[in-house]
Structure 1
Amino acid sequence: MKKLIKLSFVASFLLMSLMAFGQTPQFPIVKGFGGIYEIPEATERPDGTLEYKILVDLTSPSEDNKQVSRFVDNIARMMNLHGLAGVTKDRLHVKVIIHGGGIFSLLNHENYQKRFEVENPNLAVFEALKEAGADIMVCGQSLIARNIKPADLWPGVRVAHSALTTITTYVPQGYILLKF
C-alpha cells in the first residue's frame, strides 16, 4: 500500500511538473516575441484593473549581434507579462528610450549588415513592440556621439533630444523607470 501511495505521489508530482514546465509560451500583447508562461501559484501579479505607465531606459548592447537582444526581447516579455495578468493593451503605456550601446539594435538592415555582417534580428521585435503600442525613441545625443544618422535607423523610431531629458520628462508624469 505504501508503495502505491508513493508511486501515486511521484506520478502526481511528474504530471504537475510537466504541466508547469511543458507550457507553450504565450504572447498576449506583443505577438511572436517575449514569450511568457502562466504561473498558477503566483500570489503576486499585476492588477488587471490598473493603468501602467512604464519608461524603459535601454542602454545595454546585445550580447550576440547575430541574435535578438535579450534586452529588446525583455521589453516584449514585460508587456506580455502584464497582458497575461489581465492588463489590457489600452491600459499599458510603454515608452522606450534607447541610448549608449543599445542604439546599435536600432540600425536598419543595411547598416546593421555593414557593422555585424547579418541583417538586424531586432527589427522584427521593434515592429511587434510598435504594433503593440510601445513608443520607441532613440537619444539624439547618442546618435551624434556614435556618428549615426536618423536615416541609418529603423524607420519606426522617434529621435529624442536626449535620453536624460526623456527620463526627466516622463518620470514626473507618473512613468516608472525600468533600466535594461
Structure 2
Amino acid sequence: MFKPVLAGLAAVIALPALALAGPGDFAPGPVIEEFGPVAPVEGALPIPEGTEFRISFDTRDRAAEGELNSKLTAAARFLNMQAAASVPVENIHLAIVVHGTAVHDVTRDSAGANADLVAALVEHGVEIFVCGQSAVWYDIAAGDLLPGVSMSLSAMTAHARLQSDGYTLNPF
C-alpha cells in the first residue's frame, strides 16, 4: 500500500534534480570571451529597453598566486551577462576601485594572471582606479600600474566621485 506512494514521492524528489543546471551551462560571454563566463537564466525578469547601468566594484584582497582577482572577474561577468541579455554595451558603464593588497593585482611587476584580464576590461571601457593611499603604503607609483589603470587620491575619493556620477556599488 505504501510502495506506490513512496515510488511516486521518489520520482517527485528526483525531478528537480534533473531540471537543475550546472557548471557546464556557463559559456564565454559575448564581450570579453576569455573571462567572466555566464549562463542563460530561463524565466528571469526582462531588463527594460533603454536600461543604463553605472556600477562600481570594490576590491581589496590580492588574488592568490596564479589566480584571478575575483572582483575583476566579476566586472567581466557583469558586462558579459548584461550584453547577453541584450543590453547595449554602450549602456554599461563599469568602474573598479582597487585598494589594500589588491593593488598588486594591477601593477606591471606583480599582476600575473590578472594582466590579460585588466587589459580586456580596459579595452572594453571599464575604468580601474587604484587607491593612492594603498599605493603609497606598498611603495607603488603611478608608473608601476598596468596600462589603462589610474591612480586616485584614495579609494574613498574614487568611490565618492563615482557615486556623484551616478554609479552604484555592486555588493558582490
Partner of 2:75: 75
Q: 1:99-114 counterparts in 2 under 5 A?
A: 99-108=99-108, 111-112=109-110
**Given the alignment, which residue of 40, 58, 75 partners 1:38?**
40
Distance 1:129 1:101 in 2: 20
TM-score (normalizing by structure 2): 0.81
Deviation digits for residues 75-127 of structure 1, max 9, x if unmatched? 1111111112211110001111111121110121xx22xxxxxx710011111
Question: What's the secondary structure of 1:25's corresponding residue?
Answer: coil
The answer to whether 1:89 aligns with 2:89 is yes
Q: 1:1-180 alignment to 2 at 5 Å?
A: 20-21=21-22, 22-43=24-45, 46-62=47-63, 64-108=64-108, 111-112=109-110, 120-179=112-171
TM-score for the superposition, normalised by structure 1: 0.77
Give the Cα–Cα distance (whole angstroms) in 2 for the partners of residues 130 and 140 of structure 1.
19
The letter for the 2-side match of 1:121 is A
The number of equivalent residue pairs is 163
- Shift of the 58–24 alpha-carbon distance from structure 1 to 2, 3 Å rule, reads closer
Residues 30 and 76 of structure 1 are in contact (CA less than 8 Å); yes or no, is this contact kept in structure 2?
yes
User: Using the alignment, how far apart are the partners of 1:102 and 1:94 within structure 2?
Assistant: 18
Give, in whole Å, the separation in 1 of the partners of 2:85 and 2:58: 23
SS in 2 for 1:171: helix
Query: 2:36 is matched by which residue type in structure 1?
Result: G
Unaligned residue ranges in structure 1 (runs of 5+): 1-5, 113-118
Output one character per residue of 1:110-168: Cα deviation in whole Å (capped at 9) or x when no partner: x22xxxxxx71001111111112101111112111111122222122111121111111
Contact 1:89 1:133 (C-alpha < 8 Å) held by counterparts = no
Measured in 2, the distance between the counterparts of 1:136 and 1:38 equals: 28
Large movers: runs of 4+ above 4 Å: 12-17
CA distance in 2, matches of 1:100, 1:13: 43
Report the identity percentage.
26
Using the alignment, how far apart are the partners of 1:131 and 1:16 within structure 2?
38
* Structure 1 range deviating more: 123-132 or 150-159: 150-159
1:168–1:13: structure 2 CA closer, same or farther, 3 Å change rule?
closer
Higher RCO (CA < 8 A, seq sep 6+): 1
Q: Supply the RMSD in Å over aligned alpha carbons.
A: 2.6
Task: Point out where structure 2 has 5 or more consecutive residues left out of the alignment.
Answer: 1-7
Alpha-carbon offset, residue 171 of structure 1: 0.7
Distance 1:162 1:24, change over 3 A: closer
